[in-house]
Structure 1
Amino acid sequence: MNIDRRLLLAGLGSVAVSGLPRRSFAATSVTIGDYEILSVSDGNLVLPGAFYFDGLPEQELNSILTPLGVPKDQVEPPCNVTLLRHEDRVVLFDAGSGDGFMPSAGALLDSLDAVGVAPEDVTHLVLTHGHPDHLWGVLDDFDDPVFTEAEHMIGQTEWDYWTDTDTVNTIGEDRASFAVGAARRLEAIEDRISFFGDADEILPGIMAHASFGHTPGHMSFEIRSGSDALLVGGDAIGNHHIAFARPDWASGSDQNPEMAAEVRTRLLDKLSNENIALLGFHLPDGGVGRVERKDSAYRFVSEDI
């Protein structure tokens, strides 16, 4: 596997109409056989630290966060969207958040433009799960599909959960808007959707892995060519700090914390034992790296050139 972390310039040094400098975009390129994989940015989230850290033992938490320079009051995880090119296919894993979730996110279309991909070039849009930062970018400001030529794909279990009219009543008050937003967007793309299940080869060389817990039907995806492989992890391994150091700890970011912890531990064990690369949606440095294990703990090692 070859990894190339590079800066892609999009009008760097020029001035936009608003008088603000235009953004520049960095992308990480990974080659596995004849698969080209790019990590492209949708910006970042801004979340209170309590979202991750409430109820955790303070002394051990500090010992994990301090060496990594992670503050406890506020975290700003990146949003890394996976783009894959293979033969005549242009595959996007997740759609980003669009303009309707957070001002700090929603940069995906600009990032795609920076690597020469227009929305209509995407042939397949594969959704890991239905949370806003992964799904809401399927529609534009006029509620029309953004990726007009793409087959949209989602796990059957995840679809069933978000399209169930009772979900908004059972998901909890803090996430009720997630349920409303997901149902509206999935209804809008219903005629474009196809479904898959655990262990299905959804496209040549790409296998779905059930990684339920973060959401009831969350899916990850293994891209493999011979002995070389990379896991598109979505939010199954949701950060580079406590998720690795203490994967058994429950996280407030997960809808089923106990199930998510079991899945997280299983995936980390698989990735470290089999030396499979990981591309995580909220991991640093483009999200691409390896998992190293020491005793019962793990660490994320970003791959740099």
Structure 2
Amino acid sequence: MGNLFFIPMLSKNFTIEGDETILHEFKEKWKTANLAYYPSSGLDLNDLQYLNRRRFKELEGNDPEIYIHSDLLWPDIEYYDKRRWLGCLKEFSITSVNTFRYLHGENRSVEIHKVKIGNSDTVKWLLYFRGYMNEEVLANLLRNKIQIPIVYTYCDGITHGMGNFEGTIPTVFYPLIARQLGIKMIITEQSAEDFCKRTDDNKSLREWIKNTLDLTGSSVLKSFLKLDDAIFRQTLHQTLLSVPEYSVNTEAKKRLFVRGGDIDMVIKTPEIGIMNILSAYIEENSKVEQITEKKRGRKRSRT
């Protein structure tokens, strides 16, 4: 099956559906294509419609050519195909040219869609992991050292929406894997400030960092988990807030529209050295923790 990274994700008994010439065309495009990833995409095709150099100068002319989508919660292929898919294509002014599928059991498929956007003759490709967890896709991207410069995410189903399953990593944590995946830009509705204000459940925060550690094997994250709860939460917030971000839309220019209405999407530009930033915060806050503990010990000894 060539060099497609997702083939090991399929069971031995997968079947195929569609014209194999589309598969071969896709495999050639994969070798050189600019990639973007939309985790927990559902049937949203906003990224195909809006992520282009006309709207985002930040792309520096490197428009995505293959858009990778994944969602665990769209397993019903009858509902997905016949009742919603064609309607979604029409809603987003997208024309399907052809499709090829790897059918993996009853509730999973890896789908290759060749499409055209609006009235343009420009071909785009959608690689959709239907019935897969985002983390399965991420693990295979990392294993194959595939770079994903752009992440688009709206309602990840973990810290926004419904669908928080065991082993998940919220998209707000993706700056922590930016170096390994080559992420240069994240477009999302979840600003770091908003997340830090409304999320203080240490159990969930630790679980999500543990899941990120399991994915990356980072020694920094391993040290991070050893901090006590208050310092752990403070350090996480400091690190996430250190990632530069700014609004996608301004009063003068609307670059992106989402289904939820007038939602303030932001662009994050993760620093490649964010783990160094996290490591520095861990060291700094650990010293504060040690000093505080010594003071408590002195007070206890006096009493």
- Give TM-score scaled by structure 2 length: 0.29
- Structure number with higher strand proportion: 1
Larger Rg: 2
Structure with more of its chain in helix, by fraction: 2
TM-score, normalised to structure 1, is 0.29
